[in-house]
Amino acid sequence: MLVPLRGHRLHLGRDVLVFDLDGTLVDSAPDLDRALGLLLAEEGRRPVSLSETRSMIGDGVDRLVARALARTGSPVAPPEQAGLVARFLAHYSAGRHALTLPYPGVVETLAALQGRGLRLAVCTNKPIAQTREVLSALDLARWFGAVTGGDSAPTRKPDPGHLLATLDLLGAAPAAAVMVGDSANDVEVARAAGVPVVVVSYGYTSVRPADLGADAVIDSFADLLAWLDS
């Protein structure tokens, strides 16, 4: 279902779509949960549930690890945290993202968007190495002319510099772009960059999608085509 929230044809004249990754294009929570479980077991801590992991995704790997540590005991000092993040990433990559899947309609919709001549990009807070691994493992990389991770630019979402750096890789201005995501970070980065934003209702957010302040909420990724045609 398509739920327009602002009543404007903000997409007109825009030929660049920039997507968040986790919770928007792919459901990566099972693989992230698996890696967290291995790390926490090494630290002698209880595992977190898949629902807990889903609630902690969205601000980058360092915050995910920090939140998991806080939920299962006491936080750690920054120097120790860096080592734990590195170990988490090693566990995460070692699984080769076998439990991660594109959401229904993603592949078909990306193909349709590219077929319309639209330029597509990914802007995610996930580290760029793991971002490229996921896109490659799921055969999604071919759709995107630009990909940036949380360590690709001096800043990351919700700082507008991250989205603007992604657009720079395409040689595109904010006036040509639309952001598609699932969380407050995606809405905030779009607003700060002067870009309209669509959010999916099925992603990783602790705030009701309708309350995030996006220009539209879609229940299915394929509904993006209807929004563009509305």
**Tell me: the pLDDT tens digits for 123-176?**
999 999 999 999 999 999 999 999 999 999 999 999 999 999 999 999 999 999
Quick one: pLDDT at residue 13?
72
Specify the pTM: 0.93
Quick one: pLDDT at residue 4?
45
**158: cis peptide before it, omega within 30°?**
yes
Give the residue from 199, 188, 200 showing the smallest Cα distance to 156: 188
Q: Could you report the per-residue pLDDT of 163-220, keeping only the tens digit for each?
A: 999 999 999 999 999 999 999 999 999 999 999 999 999 999 989 999 999 999 999 9
What's the CA gap between 171 and 164, in Å, rounded? 10
What's the CA gap between 223 and 3, in Å, rounded? 10
- Structural domains in the chain, CATH included, are 2-27+100-229 (3.40.50.1000), 29-94 (1.10.150)
Q: How far is residue 213 from each of residues 41, 188, 216, measured CA to CA in Å?
A: 39, 9, 8
Q: Where are the alpha helices (DSSP H) in the chain?
A: 29-42, 50-56, 61-71, 78-94, 106-115, 128-137, 160-170, 184-193, 223-229
Quick one: pLDDT at residue 10?
42
Which residues are known to be catalytic? 20
Beta bridge partners of 216: 4, 198
| Radius of gyration of the chain from its Cα atoms, rounded to whole angstroms | 17
Give the residue from 207, 151, 144 showing the smallest Cα distance to 18: 144
Q: Could you report the per-residue pLDDT of 60-75, keeping only the tens digit for each?
A: 999 999 999 999 998 8
Quick one: pLDDT at residue 110?
98
What's the CA gap between 85 and 127, in Å, rounded? 11
